[in-house]
Amino acid sequence: MLKLLRYITALFCVQVKPLLQVTNTEEKLNKKESELRQVTEHLTVLRGENDLLKTEHQQLTNDKVLLTEQLRAEQDLSAETEEVWCLFYAQQNSTLGFIFVSLDVEFCHQFVGH
């Protein structure tokens, strides 16, 4: 009986226990593969979001350049308009006998009414 018990114990240790370890290892492997799939899917989503953000950033950069150019053009036009107004008022006032020493924009603002 003792021999039979030793034989069963030896059989368990030699044949069954390794099978249990293989099953446990397979379960761990399956779990890791599942985690890897989830991480891969999440990475795919993040890459898509990153691409969208890059596209949006590029569009905003282009818009900024365009708006900067428009602002510069409007500033130039405004400066030209002020200069014309100053010249106009200078001519009007010079006909009345006033002499302007400078056509400085700040000086002209006093007479333009800004």
- Residue found under tokens 């593969």: 33
Whole-structure pTM value: 0.52
Spell out, as residue ranges, where the chain has pLDDT lower than 70. Answer: 2, 4-5, 11-14, 16-17, 19-20, 22, 93-114
pLDDT of residue 100: 47
CA distance 33 to 45: 18
- Per-residue HEC secondary structure of 22-91 comes to HHHHHHHHHHHHHHHHHHHHHHHHHHHHHHHHHHHHHHHHHHHHHHHHHHHHHHHHHHHHHHHHHHHHHH
State the Cα–Cα distance between residues 69 and 85, nearest whole angstrom: 24
